[in-house]
Amino acid sequence: GENVEQHPSTLSVQEGDSAVIKCTYSDSASNYFPWYKQELGKRPQLIIDIRSNVGEKKDQRIAVTLNKTAKHFSLHITETQPEDSAVYFCAAYSGAGSYQLTFGKGTKLSVIP
Amino acid sequence: DAGVIQSPRHEVTEMGQEVTLRCKPISGHNSLFWYRQTMMRGLELLIYFNNNVPIDDSGMPEDRFSAKMPNASFSTLKIQPSEPRDSAVYFCASTLQNRENTGELFFGEGSRLTVL
């Protein structure tokens, strides 16, 4: 089955700096890679996703890049703000025989004002 | 749509008692997932249903856990008997998917279970 590794597990940045979270996956058939943000005590919510036919996708201050050859994808947050503080989860979806999302372990991002 | 609805939001029970968690997925979604979240293990997939049929229950910890989906708008996760190590937040999520593709996974608010 799919295996998703996520790094780092914790990340502290100064407000205004950039944050990068990286994930690798094992199943070359995976074709959908969402990122979820979970604020303290809340449910995970989708913030951005990318499908395997594109290499990069941007939405204001967040962007995701995908390298299918190397089987890794990354989340980039620029001009970080205190409200970006949360746990971020990457995930990979493989439709080949096991149509379910496999999540990484999460990255706790702290943005220091 | 009101989103994925879970109940109860909080449950405190004593070891050995039966616990039933409930979920109503978003109307029109064909896949439903139960996740357990703890600090130590993160988000773990327990079981998922596609068109009301259990597809993969390999994440269910042991026989004390069971899940049902009698129709497209309702699912339950039952723990009997409960143990302190079952304390966690249990999320239900739903989406619309087929073999090749999947849509956004929508999570419920979660059910926080504490077993004393």
Tell me the pLDDT tens digit for each residue of A56-106.
999 999 999 999 999 999 999 999 999 999 999 999 987 655 567 889 999
Distance of residue A76 Cα from the nearest chain B Cα, in angstroms: 20
Instruction: Provide φ and ψ at B40, rounded to 5°.
Output: -75, -40
Q: Closest to B45 (Cβ–Cβ): which among A42, A100, A104?
A: A100
Contact at CB, B101 and A32, closer than 8 angstroms: yes
Segment A35-44 shows an average pLDDT of 96
| Residue B58: burial class (beta carbons within 10 Å; 0-12, 13-18, 19+) | exposed
3-class secondary-structure state, position A9: coil
Task: Quote the strand ranges of A1-113, DSSP E.
Answer: 4-7, 10-14, 19-25, 30-38, 45-51, 56-59, 62-67, 72-77, 86-94, 100-103, 107-112
Task: Quote the strand ranges of chain B, DSSP E.
Answer: 5-7, 10-13, 19-24, 31-38, 42-50, 53-56, 65-71, 74-79, 88-95, 106-107, 111-115
What span, in angstroms and rounded, lies between the C-alpha atoms of A37 and B106? 12
What pLDDT does A62 receive?
98
What pLDDT does A102 receive?
87
Contact at CB, B56 and A98, closer than 8 angstroms: yes
Q: In chain B, which residue's Cα lies nearest the Cα of A48?
A: B104
For the stretch B21-80, pLDDT in tens is 999 999 999 999 999 999 888 898 999 999 999 988 888 988 999 999 999 999 999 999
What span, in angstroms and rounded, lies between the C-alpha atoms of A91 and B116? 33
| Among B110, B95, B106, B96, residue whose Cα is nearest residue B3 | B106
Contact at CB, B42 and A34, closer than 8 angstroms: no
